[in-house]
Structure 1
Amino acid sequence: KCFVFFIDKEGGENTKSKTHLIFRCNRIPVQFRYFCVYGAKGMTVEEAVRRDGRFVDGLTNFTLSDNENKFTTKCTEIVDNLDGRKFQICLPKTGKTKATNPPQVVQEQDSTQQTSQEEENASASPKVQNIETTLKNLKEEKFGKVQQSFSEAHRLEKLLKLGKSVCKVLDDQGSDVCQGTGFVLFDRFVLTSAHLFDKCVQGKNLLDHIYISARFQYDDLDPETNYFYFYAEKTFIDIDNELDFAVLELKTEGQNFLQNKPDNVKVPAGLLDRFGPLPGNGEACLIGHPAGSVKKIDPTCIIEPEKREEAVNDHLAPHETTLVTIMSVIETIKSQGIGSIMVGGTKADKVETYNTFMYHGASGSPVFGADCRVFGIHTGGFTYGFQRHETSVIEYAHPLLTIFEKKQQIRPNFDDSFKSHPDYFLSGRNY
């Protein structure tokens, strides 16, 4: 949960002529007055200002003066009660501060950016570089092919059929303790994301008060009247936090929501025999339950490692002329480990990235290629946001073949329970 507050470009009491001790850049365009700053719940004002990036290093020992009522807030107080308020920064009367103003801002990926760029964008963000040509091609040409591929009737029909294996995964109470997406591997085995169970698992066992169910056919206009579901066994077949996947085994008898009885309910056919390698043409499509909603389909395209930084910058570019704190966003996604998926990062070649609107509640969704083979499991994204609003700059999936291959190396008997099933030998893991 984040809280947003605003800092006046004019200094407060005893600080009118000392803004050079507050802001990195002193030539702030006249049309801008406030800097939009946000901080997470429990964060101090000083921490929020420090991570913002547009204030001088080491700014401390200051207070905030409310522009409306002149009440003061110490820099050591938390931001929880500052949401939506506007302030001026006030330095001590002596003017002494530990702040220092370095000659230029260090950018996320390029330490050679010029100070003039910083001054030009001080009230909004570091200038986003080199996105007009590359990202225009990425969005117009490549995504155009994606739209064409996944709008073809035969592919759409096949995806809708395969999508019957996709289920909404949630705890028995329907709360957000555990809510995501999963899909059937074969028989009664469901693959989903391990992080969904962070708060409700111990070892390989669900906590006593947690009962997980998988809802199928949750895709009508009035989904609450037509779905059927199966409860999961209390012990996982496997769960791995590093590779972020979990395999659930569903109980033998399912129930129709309306009749509340088995009524010959069957688990849909699995997708294990549809596993495939990473697509070479960059096309992809997700099927899942974002935000716990009805089943949705989102065609997209893979963002190659060398284009990921540009894609992130492209996402942030619309905010370049606003007061949104781009440096704060960068610090937030850096703290989430976004550097690990960039070129040279530890996970750069271990995940596939793309843009999708499906992130909250869609973890565990299958990711299909244009050949309608499942190549990945949607895992998450790098998010930022404000109170009542959150978004993601880029999302990623773990390749399924990588999961199976690595688990077989680490734990030779990992898929012993699968080997008796004929689909195992037809799966993409043998590519």
Structure 2
Amino acid sequence: MKSVFLNNKIDCVCVFAHKGDTIEKALRDDGRFSDDFFDKVTVELVDDENVIHAIHLPVDQCDGKKFNVNAEYKKARAPDKNDGESVKHSQQSKHTKQKTLQEEKTNATDPSTEGNATQSTSGNSSGDSGNSFFTDIKKQQENPQVQELLQKEYDKGVVDSFTEVNKVRQVMDLSDSVCVIVVDDSRRGTGFLLFDRFILTNAHVVKDFIYSPPNNPDTLKLSRTLKAVFNYEFLGSKTINLQAKSELIAYRYEKDAALMFHDYALLELETAPDKCTELLTCYKHDSFPNSGGIYIVGHPDCDVKKMDPCFIIGEENQLRSINQHISENVSCPYVSWGCWPNLYKNQITYNSCFFHGSSGSPVFDAHCNLIGMHSGGFDYKQDERTRSVIEFSYSMQSIMESIIAQVRSRSDIMKLLQNEKFYSIKEHFDLGKIEDACEANIPIKEERQNEEENMEEN
């Protein structure tokens, strides 16, 4: 310890840290430990159950625990002719590190950063809307694991695009279209304005409140009153409450033969909300990206609106990510085969802090394109907290293909989708052909499959 008093008189100290920080960063930021402790010594922590915690791991599992420190001096190497330059570089690095620490301490006491001060590892660091969001991005970039991920998985162009302030502002503007789904005054999940007066959410958000009338078994209706609440961004905010019509426009909650799972519900509001972007204008009909940064906007815990920036876990890295989480969290009840078989081709996977209540949140890529709808994860309880092995959304491509196949008999909706602002829909789907097929009662999906088979044969 830097303090002689602490070295001689104190056997135990309490360290606070941001959730997500590494143990090493927490100890360095604490300020009471000597710099030589990290530069010359190999350090690991051992808890009461003799479980070793490496200092490069996150602090998330350390809350409330007491550790003994195992320290071993690093082996000295033989000096070489570049030692003079190395010492000079080390001094510069130390000076830079001290300057960074001083800036962080200054920021921690700056009134403009109030609400983002260090908390116990048992809590989440969260502030108001935009400031909290930018702080979360900064914290993620400073996380050594994230830095390593950025270096290995993504090129500089992708990362730059994801962290541009301009992109963040665009997402914040688009967030006005996100709403809370309320059923009989009970908040159930998240949704967003897809186009005109139609909102999209997950089928599992509303599936307990739907039925088929006996006189019209092909129609699904809501058995309870559903409202979309926009502008719920802080307690006491002036919200906009719009009621949904009882009949569902499109609905699907099932797995298909193509190893895709569908979980969506398209609802029609009595009136369209004012000054909200139709997020279908941000949709580009293309396969979803397998890497890069994404933004999720929704209402986790059905609480105030929040944003979570995170990174896609590509299909080739899913199993590794699942196994890594399980190995680092001894209380995790999942084994790899509990998650792996339940991932589908149309799912985008990532690690997010958005859990219950955020189902139905839009997912944007680094270029602000709407690529998916956040829908779930493999969660479990750890003490009083909810943790998750991996989270996922369903791709908008699979959702839109299924929706258009269902609404092709609605001429009013087809006319809306023919608008030039939904250029990606017009470009990919021949809406005129869809209407013709509807009149002839020809399934569009089968027709498209026949066309693809013919192309392969040719």
TM range (shorter): 0.5 to 0.7
Match of 1:272 in 2: 280
Deviations 1:165-199 (A, max 9, x none): 11111213225xxx111111111100110001132
Distance in 2 between the 1:162 and 1:283 partners? 17
Does structure 2 retain, via aligned residues, the 8 Å contact 1:300–1:356?
yes
Does structure 2 retain, via aligned residues, the 8 Å contact 1:290–1:359?
yes
Deviations 1:314-344 (A, max 9, x none): 223333xxxx444x3328x81xx54232xxx
Match of 1:288 in 2: 298
Residue of structure 1 aligned with 2:395, choices 371, 396, 399: 399
**2:379 maps to 1:369:** no
Q: Pairwise mapping of residues 353-364 of structure 1 onto structure 2 (< 5 A)? A: 353-364=349-360
Distance in 1 between the 2:173 and 2:421 partners? 20
- The answer to which structure has the higher helix fraction is 2
DSSP-derived class of the 2:334 partner: helix
Distance in 2 between the 1:304 and 1:281 partners? 6
Does structure 2 retain, via aligned residues, the 8 Å contact 1:407–1:414?
no
Does structure 2 retain, via aligned residues, the 8 Å contact 1:143–1:301?
no
Does structure 1 retain, via aligned residues, the 8 Å contact 2:162–2:367?
no
Instruction: Summarize the Cα distance change of 1:368–1:201 in structure 2 as closer, same or farther, 3 Å threshold.
Output: same
Distance in 1 between the 2:148 and 2:274 partners? 45
User: How far apart are residue 31 of structure 1 and its match?
Assistant: 6.7
Q: Higher relative contact order at CA 8 Å, sep ≥6: structure 1 or structure 2?
A: 1
User: How far apart are residue 148 of structure 1 and its match?
Assistant: 4.2
User: How far apart are residue 211 of structure 1 and its match?
Assistant: 1.2
Q: Pairwise mapping of residues 219-298 of structure 1 onto structure 2 (< 5 A)? A: 219-220=233-234, 222=235, 224-242=236-254, 243-252=262-271, 266=274, 268-276=276-284, 277=286, 278-279=288-289, 281-298=291-308
Does structure 1 retain, via aligned residues, the 8 Å contact 2:362–2:372?
yes
Q: Pairwise mapping of residues 19-418 of structure 1 onto structure 2 (< 5 A)? A: 32=49, 137-138=148-149, 141-142=152-153, 148-175=160-187, 179-203=188-212, 204-207=220-223, 210-220=224-234, 222=235, 224-242=236-254, 243-252=262-271, 266=274, 268-276=276-284, 277=286, 278-279=288-289, 281-319=291-329, 324-326=330-332, 328-330=333-335, 334=338, 338-341=340-343, 347=344, 349-386=345-382, 388-408=384-404, 411=406, 413=408, 416-418=411-413
**2:431 maps to 1:420:** no
Distance in 2 between the 1:142 and 1:237 partners? 40
Deviations 1:106-136 (A, max 9, x none): xxxxxxxxxxxxxxxxxxxxxxxxxxx9998
Distance in 1 between the 2:302 and 2:239 partners? 14
Does structure 2 retain, via aligned residues, the 8 Å contact 1:275–1:429?
no
Identity of aligned residues (%): 30
Does structure 2 retain, via aligned residues, the 8 Å contact 1:279–1:370?
no
Distance in 2 between the 1:173 and 1:361 partners? 14
User: How far apart are residue 378 of structure 1 and its match?
Assistant: 0.8
Instruction: Summarize the Cα distance change of 1:414–1:316 in structure 2 as closer, same or farther, 3 Å threshold.
Output: farther
DSSP-derived class of the 1:225 partner: coil
Unaligned runs of 5+ in 1: 1-29, 35-132, 254-264, 342-346
Aligned residue type for 2:207: D
TM-score normalised by L of structure 1: 0.56
TM-score normalised by L of structure 2: 0.53
Distance in 2 between the 1:427 and 1:250 partners? 24
Instruction: Summarize the Cα distance change of 1:155–1:136 in structure 2 as closer, same or farther, 3 Å threshold.
Output: closer
Distance in 1 between the 2:407 and 2:225 partners? 30
Deviations 1:56-91 (A, max 9, x none): xxxxxxxxxxxxxxxxxxxxxxxxxxxxxxxxxxxx
DSSP-derived class of the 1:198 partner: helix
Aligned residue type for 2:424: S
Does structure 2 retain, via aligned residues, the 8 Å contact 1:401–1:429?
no
Unaligned runs of 5+ in 2: 1-46, 52-143, 213-219, 255-261, 429-458
Aligned residue type for 1:196: V
Total equivalences in the alignment: 272
**CA RMSD after TM alignment:** 3.2
Instruction: Summarize the Cα distance change of 1:160–1:310 in structure 2 as closer, same or farther, 3 Å threshold.
Output: same
